[in-house]
A = this chain, B = another copy of it.
Amino acid sequence: MSVSFEQMRAARPGVFSPQCATRLVLDHVMSRWGVLVLWALTGGTKRWGTLRRDVEGISEKMLAATLRQLTADGLVHRDARATVPPHVEYRLTERGQELMALMLPLMEWIANNADEIATPQPAP
């Protein structure tokens, strides 16, 4: 099963410690909206408005925060042209594409298995 938890921990003690960078990146990349924004960008370069529509349910605030975070992480590139009206494009960096190449099969599996997993909401 590739490199398991124990093997990873043996090779790199502390990868799991709460202060480790791995945790930070996990929180950004695997966050509620992070995945969805990254996923949307696998469709190629997109503008703010398109992302807002593609990532259904995201608020402007969260889209802004997520994009800022992912841009700071070097996973997304922001291209702003000083025109009126403004024209801003977002796309995956090379690093972002590396990441998504690994993430996409996972998303595909989830999309295919979601219905069988789908925990019915416990009645309140």
A: residues with CB less than 8 A from B are: 1-6, 8, 12, 15-18, 20-22, 24-32, 35-36, 39-44, 54-57, 69, 72-75, 95, 97-111, 113-119
Bound-complex Cα distance A29 to B20 (A): 21
How many chain copies?
2
Q: Give the interface SS of chain A, mostly helix, strand, loop or mixed.
A: helix
Bound-complex Cα distance A120 to B75 (A): 15
Bound-complex Cα distance A49 to B73 (A): 34
Are A73 and B40 in contact, with the CB atoms below 8 A?
Answer: no
Contacts of A1 in B (CB 8 A): 42, 97, 100-101, 104
Contacts of A36 in B (CB 8 A): 16, 26
